[in-house]
Amino acid sequence: MTWIVYADGACAPSNPGPSGWGVVLIAPEGAGLSDHFGFIGPGTNQIAELTAAIEGLRRVPAGAAVELFSDSQYVVKGLSEWRSGWERRGFRNSKGEPVANQGLWKTLFALADARRVRPQWVRGHAGDVYNERADGLANQALRLKRGSAPPAAPAA
């Protein structure tokens, strides 16, 4: 029984600038699909991508198996390739500089450690339905904050 999380961040109209996150959560065995999104405030694309992954994992029970899909190589490689080196070097990168967004990385690692996470890269803006949906949610968070979201449909 594996949870599926599609996570994406957005920063617009500039980077850095206003940022938001979006998550599509698919429960095991087709038990449900849910959308989640939020506004972060001033940030960067990297902060938005990390926040999306964090928010996605927070919504999955501890101990669960999770496939975490992201179009961010930064998130996927951080979880799968760079972490051990960062930890070995005291959260310093290969140049000896402090790892950027260290607090967010530590939060993401703690959430991943409490679950069985398999990070998966998905090409952004390439037609993957759930990745496109997560991107749309992140951008919706930005539109809502700016007050330019489309009006809600009238009640039936």
Does residue 153 form part of some domain? no
Does residue 52 form part of some domain? yes
The number of distinct structural domains making up the chain is: 1
Does residue 25 form part of some domain? yes
Does residue 121 form part of some domain? yes
- Phi/psi zone of residue 40: left (φ > 0), alpha (ψ -120 to 50 degrees), beta? alpha
Does residue 156 form part of some domain? no
- Enclosing domain of residue 50: 2-146
Q: What is the pLDDT of residues 82-127, one digit of tens each?
A: 999 999 999 999 899 999 999 999 999 999 999 999 999 999 889 9
Token pair 């990390």 is found at 50
Does residue 111 form part of some domain? yes
Does residue 154 form part of some domain? no
CATH number for position 130 = 3.30.420.10
Does residue 152 form part of some domain? no
Integer Cα distance of 154 and 78 in angstroms: 44
> How many whole angstroms from its chain centre is CA 82?
17
Q: What is the pLDDT of residues 16-41, one digit of tens each?
A: 999 999 999 999 998 899 999 999 99
pLDDT for res 150: 52
